[in-house]
Amino acid sequence: MMDPTPVDRCVCRQVMFAELVRLHRETGAGFEELQRRTTCGTGCGMCVPYIKVALATGRVRLPVMGDEQLRRLAGGA
C-alpha cells in the first residue's frame, strides 16, 4: 500500500510551502502577512493548518494528519 501524497502546497492557489517558508525566513512575515501577500489559504482553507505547521517547523512536505496532531505541531496556533 502506498503512502498518501505529501501535503506541500496550497492546492487552490498553487502556493508551495517551500516558498512560504522561504518568505517567512527572509522577511519574518507571519501567516496572516503571507496570506495577504500570496493568497495562500484563501480558497477552501484546508491547507491553513498545514501552512502553520510548515512555518513552525520549517518542514515543507507534510504527511496527511489529524486536527490534534496539526495543532500540536503548529504550537497551538
- Which pTM was predicted? 0.91
Given a cut of 80, is residue 33 above it in pLDDT?
A: yes
pLDDT tens-digit series, residues 34-60: 999 999 999 999 999 999 999 999 999
Q: Compute the distance between CA of residue 64 and CA of residue 39 in angstroms, rounded to an integer.
A: 22
Q: Are strands 9-10 and 15-16 parallel, antiparallel or unpaired?
A: antiparallel
Name the DSSP class of 4. Answer: P
Q: What pLDDT band is residue 4 in, cutting at 50, 70 and 90?
A: confident
* Confidence (pLDDT) at 75: 86
> Looking at residue 42, what is its pLDDT?
97
Question: According to the model, what pLDDT value does residue 38 have?
Answer: 97
Round to whole Å and give the CA distance between 56 and 62.
12
